[in-house]
Chains A and B, each alone.
Chain A
Amino acid sequence: MTAHWHETAVNLDDLWEGDMTAVKVDGEAVLLVNVDGDVHAYSNRCPHQASPLDEGDLDGQTLTCAKHLWEFNAVTGCGINPDDARLKRFGCRVGDDGTISVDTGP
């Protein structure tokens, strides 16, 4: 396991609680989600048909893809409906200055 940490252009100040945003990191489309102050990073492609998840909706902990209404828990990445789906998670950390970094390592 080799970590590949990349600083993103997103600062925690720009990603409010309940918000999400898409960034390109190391060629990957990454979704950054702020749930109750904790930032999570996932592949921005819905596991169903690869639609961009940032065009969907975040309500509390529930992330909904706008294409076909697949729902995910934005904290665990696990599917809610259908419940056997799962988001691809990336490592994610917030620096002292608020900079959000993502690990795109294998």
Chain B
Amino acid sequence: MSTTRRMVVVGGGAAGAAAVAELRHHGFDGAITLICGENTEPYERPPLSKEFLLDVPATDGALPPPGWYGQHDIDLRLGTLATGIDPRTGSITLSDGTRVGYDRLLIATGVRPRVIPGMDGDQVLYLRTINDAVRLREQIRAAGHVAVLGGGFIGCEAAAAATRLGKQATILQARPSLLHRALGPVLGDVVAGIHAAEGVDVRTGQNVTGIRTGSGSMTVLTTAGEIECDLLVVGVGTVPNTELAEQAGLAVGNGIEVDAYCATSIPGIYAAGDVAIQHLPGHAGPVRVEHHDSALRQGRAAARHMLGLGEPFADVHWFWSNQYEHTIQSAGICDTAAGFVLRGSLTERSFSAFWLDGNRIRSVISLNRPRDVIEARRLIAAGHPVTAAQLQDDTVPLKRLTRPQRAAADT
């Protein structure tokens, strides 16, 4: 560690910012450079598709507060992109023409929205950055009818926000249910029901074939007809920003390949966050997760490994989404094509669905039962044995499953 004096982090999203904070937190007093493509200090993205659109303050807290970087002697390069990595000399080049040397490098370049060719113009919005969100917030207010292409998290949350602002919203989704990839068809249908009950026109199984823009209004062309709207929000997935890593010769698949220590195929270079695809013991295949909490945890883990500290990354992946008054939470890595064990009620919109691997919980998806997820997350981390009957029985607190003797003693 004594020879590691220069840390460089490329990417000012959750993973990069959390990594920088973790380095200082562990007493690293050498040089830290943080390269941010955007012109603002790192911020949290989750509110951008939720509270931010409604003008409801969502105070941050997981990332360093404004001014922290200056106070902690971080060389923060805003509005700057890394254009090349030279692993041989241990340096990167930047879009402003300068070169920065590193002893350890973290790539946390994140993802960008997948853009559909021909889907552009003033009335078409993609959502990733705070600038995108500012524009969307303005244009939603001016719109009467907001169409959303894609029934993933971004699409569902944008439709919920538009509805809360009194706008007509239509979700166009090629797959048979909403949140189909994340939740599977059965739970995805529950979410579709929630949106429909809120007045959203949910159109699943429809492919969009193009748009026609006019003055002020626009038309979305689908396989099932045409839809007039004022605004089209496109949320059809993302593309990992791997170009920099590829050019440097790092192993890249559907993301930058890293091991359980967030180390890439080249010594001294690490990757974390949405852009990293991680090989973890106990998982069938490599895992690339695009959720805020995972990015924070992975960024911190990568920082510890850059300092020669730390354990393999073994945190249970977790995410949440808020839509209307409903909270979806999940822990673990889900294979939603497989069958699940249900606790609670789909129709009452209060349930947890568990995916089991033998007598171990592999993952859980909950609607409006965050406490179940906290408990399940512990059961997953501990690999504690459970039975389907125990999980289904709503009268047995999940907490008791880890402590059956104590429960008996208490009562």
Give A14 Cβ to nearest chain B Cβ, in Å: 14
Chain A residues within an 8 Å CB radius of B377: 69
Query: Given A68-B320, A69-B293, are A85 and B378 also a contact pair (CB < 8 Å)?
Result: no
Give the CA-CA distance A16 to B409 in the complex, in Å. Answer: 12
Are the CB atoms of A57 and B62 closer together than 8 Å? Answer: no
Chain A residues within an 8 Å CB radius of B378: 59
Name the one of B58, B318, B320, B399 contacting A59, with C-beta atoms under 8 angstroms: B399
B74 within 8 A of A: no
One of B122-130, B188-196, B367-375 contacting the partner? B367-375
Are the CB atoms of B318 and A69 closer together than 8 Å? Answer: yes
Give B29 Cβ to nearest chain A Cβ, in Å: 18
Chain A residues within an 8 Å CB radius of B375: 57
Digitize B353-383: 1 where CB-to-A-CB distance is under 8 Å, 0 elsewhere: 0000000000000000011011101100000
Which residue of chain A has the shortest Cβ distance to B315 in the bound complex?
A81
Are the CB atoms of B61 and A67 closer together than 8 Å? Answer: no
Give the CA-CA distance A74 to B371 in the complex, in Å. Answer: 17
Chain A residues within an 8 Å CB radius of B399: 57, 59
Give the CA-CA distance A16 to B399 in the complex, in Å. Answer: 15
Name the one of A16, A55, A85 contacting B61, with C-beta atoms under 8 angstroms: A85
Are the CB atoms of A57 and B293 closer together than 8 Å? Answer: no
Number of A-B residue pairs, CB cutoff 8 Å, is 39
Give B360 Cβ to nearest chain A Cβ, in Å: 19
Give the CA-CA distance A85 to B320 in the complex, in Å. Answer: 21
Digitize B34-61: 1 where CB-to-A-CB distance is under 8 Å, 0 elsewhere: 0000000000000000000000001101
Residues 221-235 of B at the A interface (beta carbon under 8 Å): none
Interface range on chain B (Cβ under 8 Å from partner): 10 to 19
Give A93 Cβ to nearest chain B Cβ, in Å: 25
Give the CA-CA distance A84 to B62 in the complex, in Å. Answer: 9
Residues 31-54 of A at the B interface (beta carbon under 8 Å): 47-50
Which residue of chain A has the shortest Cβ distance to B292 in the bound complex?
A68
Are the CB atoms of A49 and B374 closer together than 8 Å? Answer: no
Chain A residues within an 8 Å CB radius of B410: 16
Chain B residues within an 8 Å CB radius of A68: 62, 293, 320
A98 within 8 A of B: no
Are the CB atoms of A55 and B370 closer together than 8 Å? Answer: yes
Give A25 Cβ to nearest chain B Cβ, in Å: 24
Which residue of chain B has the shortest Cβ distance to A67 in the bound complex?
B370
Give the CA-CA distance A65 to B368 in the complex, in Å. Answer: 14
Are the CB atoms of B370 and A48 closer together than 8 Å? Answer: no
B25 within 8 A of A: yes
Digitize B308-347: 1 where CB-to-A-CB distance is under 8 Å, 0 elsewhere: 0000000000101000000000000000000000000000
Chain B residues within an 8 Å CB radius of A69: 293, 318, 374, 377
A105 within 8 A of B: no
- How many residues of A are counted as interface, with CB atoms below 8 angstroms from the partner's CB atoms? 18
Query: Given A48-B62, A82-B62, are A57 and B320 also a contact pair (CB < 8 Å)?
Result: no
Q: Which of B293, B373, B374, B410 has the most CB of A within 10 A?
A: B374
Give B297 Cβ to nearest chain A Cβ, in Å: 8
Are the CB atoms of A66 and B293 closer together than 8 Å? Answer: no
Chain B residues within an 8 Å CB radius of A50: 59
Residues 18-36 of A at the B interface (beta carbon under 8 Å): none
Give B179 Cβ to nearest chain A Cβ, in Å: 19
Give the CA-CA distance A56 to B164 in the complex, in Å. Answer: 27
Residues 2-29 of B at the A interface (beta carbon under 8 Å): 25
Give the CA-CA distance A59 to B320 in the complex, in Å. Answer: 21
Give the CA-CA distance A82 to B14 in the complex, in Å. Answer: 13
Give A67 Cβ to nearest chain B Cβ, in Å: 7
Are the CB atoms of B374 and A47 closer together than 8 Å? Answer: no
Chain A residues within an 8 Å CB radius of B61: 47-49, 82, 85
Chain B residues within an 8 Å CB radius of A16: 410
A64 within 8 A of B: yes
Give the CA-CA distance A59 to B399 in the complex, in Å. Answer: 8
Name the one of B25, B59, B371 contacting A57, with C-beta atoms under 8 angstroms: B371
Query: Given A57-B399, A59-B399, A84-B25, are A66 and B62 also a contact pair (CB < 8 Å)?
Result: no
Residues 56-97 of A at the B interface (beta carbon under 8 Å): 56-57, 59, 64, 66-69, 82-85
Give the CA-CA distance A57 to B370 in the complex, in Å. Answer: 9
Are the CB atoms of A49 and B25 closer together than 8 Å? Answer: no
Chain B residues within an 8 Å CB radius of A83: 25
List, sorted by A's number, 6 A–B pairs whose CB atoms are closer than 8 Å.
A47-B61, A49-B58, A57-B374, A66-B370, A67-B320, A84-B25
Q: A55-B370, A66-B370, A69-B374 are in contact. List 6 more A-B contacts (CB 8 A).
A: A16-B410, A49-B58, A49-B61, A66-B371, A67-B370, A69-B293
